[in-house]
Structure 1
Amino acid sequence: MPAVLLRKLSDAALTLFCATLVLFILIRLAPGDPAVLLLGQPAEVAGSQSQAYERKAEELRAQWGLDRPVFMQYAGWLGRLLQLDLGTSLYTGRQVSEELAERLPATLQLSLAALFIQVTLGIALGAVSALKAGAASDNLIRFACVALASTPAFVTGLFLLLLFAVSLGAYEISSEATWNRLWLPALTMGLASMPQFARMVRANMLAELGQTYVLAALSRGLSRRKVVAHACRNALLPLVTVVALSFAAFLGGAVVIESLFSWPGIGKYALDSILRKDYPVIQGYAFIMVAFVIVLHLCVDVLYAYLDPRLHHKRKRAAAGVEEHA
């Protein structure tokens, strides 16, 4: 186990390094100049005014280190990153880590609420669809899942805003991260990701209910309710990975929903920074998201190994085979 964990950690470190390098280069290749965006597009002027504008722009590029080669910029950023320094925003002059830390709780709050809606509705609808396979309720659930999966999240969000905020007046439109504003963006994100989860629950349940141990348990007179509950636990075990990846997707993919509902999270902050070419913020946000996904994958691997007893038996047989061969 320690050797496997050490190998996974080394792979994760290599993946993180490659991801940061690619992201850094892609950000620098994007069109636009932060100095021009900060100073404003120059008017059609000539002479001293134009020269003063160019001098000011050059001073800003030199101050931000943008006049150096890209790989030197990356080396400097990586060196600061190893010291846990994400840099300073080009526009606010504040530490990127501080600004991300201020907005991270709002995104975590939204992502956890959306994950709860996704998992709750997905398990409930998927289990009912599997237990009532072929019935009218199964067909209705599958049709609803297809319709939701075919609708972009921002379209669902616009419809819910029109319904609850405009027509019913039950939702307050503002830019504050309050509890009474949480439910609608969380519902939008949860509904957008629920269909895939419900289909996986249904498929796993049908596969598990067709196993021989289920038929044997029913033939021995065990109650159908207990057998189905046991099969449901086995069917939901592989979905631990899906839940973890959904949480990571919510954190990294909340940009559209946060912008649509003016939710003050790191997604909206990152989008505003992309439009302003605030390189340190974009790089810091991308690094945090990539690192979070990698760490989450490691945690899921370890957790899944302890939750699934079949992996324990497989490792024991492999270890016994190695000892016999030795």
Structure 2
Amino acid sequence: MLGYIIKRIVLTMPLLVAISFLTFVLINLSPLDPAEVVLQAQGVPQITEELIVQTKAELGMDKPFFIQYFHWVLASLQLDFGYSFVTNDPVWTLIGPAFINTLKLTLVSSVVIIIVSIVLGVVCAIYEGKLVDKTVRGFSFMLTSMPSYWLATLMIWYFSVTLDLLPTSGMHSYQSYILPVIVITISYAGIYFRVVRSSVLSNKNKDFVLYARACGITESRIMLHILKNSMQVAVSVFCMAIPIILGSTVVIENVFAWPGLGSLTVKSILSRDFPVIQAYVLILAVTFVLFNMLSDIINAGMNPKLRNDL
């Protein structure tokens, strides 16, 4: 198993290098000169060619491209993403707290989504084709088809404005988590429980279930074996759910005024704060790669046959 993990980490390295390179190139794809953007953000009334050249020299933008990239990668490994073009603060002091706030919301939502998805998936698989199965699938299709911003607005109107039970925005107490987590859960649990349901149904028809029943094994023990085999697919889905939710909280965070990555990124895009955008893209992309690797390692631990695939 240790050899598989080492091989998986080694194979991930080229992908991380490619991601870092593409992220660094991002700043050069803008039609505006980054130095000019910095001067505009600082409120310089008249931008001259001399000022642009001077700013490039101060920021190291006058050096060859690959030297800039090499220095940026070394700094990023130390969580030094440079300085904000707008506030001139270190990027990590801006994106660090925002990342923690988004991560809290993501982890709470992911736990709720996993529990709801497994429970609904197993129940629907057990009662396949019956009223419970059809009702749950029908409601999930209806709810997941709703835009998250519209659903969030309805939640705020009913629970916060009409009933005055929950806060409308911010991150002040555990109550602030309730509405965002409900909206995120509704948006994703309706998708993931179908994966669990399909996996359980697929394993219910396997030969080992027939042989187990012929040997007189109880239905509860058979169901445990079915769930164990079904979780191999579910693990991959749920591991990737965390970075997906982490990267898709932009709308939810802006609706609920959650002080996270989504809110910060929208502000940075509107103000062309490239270092913050770069850091956001890099962190999100690396998170996707690492969780994908984690899902492969967990599945290899559950199924030794997968260790021979590398």
Category of TM-score, reference length = shorter chain: 0.7 to 0.9
Q: CA deviation at 1:184?
A: 0.8
**Aligned match of 1:24:** 24
CA distance in 1, matches of 2:70, 2:263: 28
Return the match for 2:246 from 248, 251, 261.
251
Tell me if the contact between 1:255 and 1:267 (Cα under 8 Å) persists in the aligned partners: yes
Q: Does the alignment pair 1:202 with 2:197?
A: yes
Return the match for 2:231 from 236, 239, 251.
236
Return the match for 2:108 from 109, 113, 120.
113
What secondary structure sits across from 1:264 in the alignment?
Answer: coil
CA distance in 1, matches of 2:78, 2:165: 47
CA distance in 2, matches of 1:258, 1:141: 28
Q: RMSD value over aligned CA atoms?
A: 2.7
What secondary structure sits across from 2:84 in the alignment?
Answer: coil
Return the match for 2:126 from 128, 131, 137.
131
What secondary structure sits across from 1:182 in the alignment?
Answer: helix
Tell me if the contact between 1:23 and 1:283 (Cα under 8 Å) persists in the aligned partners: yes
Return the match for 1:181 from 168, 176, 195.
176
What secondary structure sits across from 1:13 in the alignment?
Answer: helix
Residue type at the aligned position of 2:169: S
Give the gaps of 5 or more residues in structure 2: none
CA 173–31 in structure 1, closer or farther in 2 if over 3 Å, else same: farther
Tell me if the contact between 1:64 and 1:90 (Cα under 8 Å) persists in the aligned partners: no
Tell me if the contact between 1:96 and 1:281 (Cα under 8 Å) persists in the aligned partners: yes
Q: CA deviation at 1:240?
A: 0.9
**Aligned match of 2:167:** 172
Q: CA deviation at 1:257?
A: 1.2
Tell me if the contact between 2:19 and 2:285 (Cα under 8 Å) persists in the aligned partners: yes
Indicate the structure (1 or 2) with the bigger Cα radius of gyration.
1
Return the match for 1:80 from 51, 66, 75.
75
- The percent of aligned pairs where both chains have the same amino acid is 27
Residue type at the aligned position of 1:8: R
In the TM superposition, what are the counterparts of 1:1-326 in structure 2 within 5 Å?
A: 4-31=4-31, 34-35=37-38, 37-39=40-42, 50=46, 60=55, 62-66=57-61, 73-311=68-306, 315=308
CA distance in 1, matches of 2:49, 2:238: 51
CA distance in 2, matches of 1:124, 1:59: 61
Residue type at the aligned position of 2:176: R
CA distance in 2, matches of 1:166, 1:30: 42
CA distance in 1, matches of 2:108, 2:187: 13
Tell me if the contact between 1:177 and 1:264 (Cα under 8 Å) persists in the aligned partners: no
Q: CA deviation at 1:9?
A: 2.5
What secondary structure sits across from 1:237 in the alignment?
Answer: helix
CA distance in 2, matches of 1:195, 1:293: 22
Q: CA deviation at 1:62?
A: 4.8
Q: TM-score, normalised by structure 2?
A: 0.86
1:258-313 per-residue CA deviation (whole Å, 9 max, x = no partner) reads 1111111122222221221112211122222222222222222222211224446x
What secondary structure sits across from 2:171 in the alignment?
Answer: coil
Q: TM-score, normalised by structure 1?
A: 0.82
1:89-145 per-residue CA deviation (whole Å, 9 max, x = no partner) reads 222332222332222321121001111221111111111111111111111111122
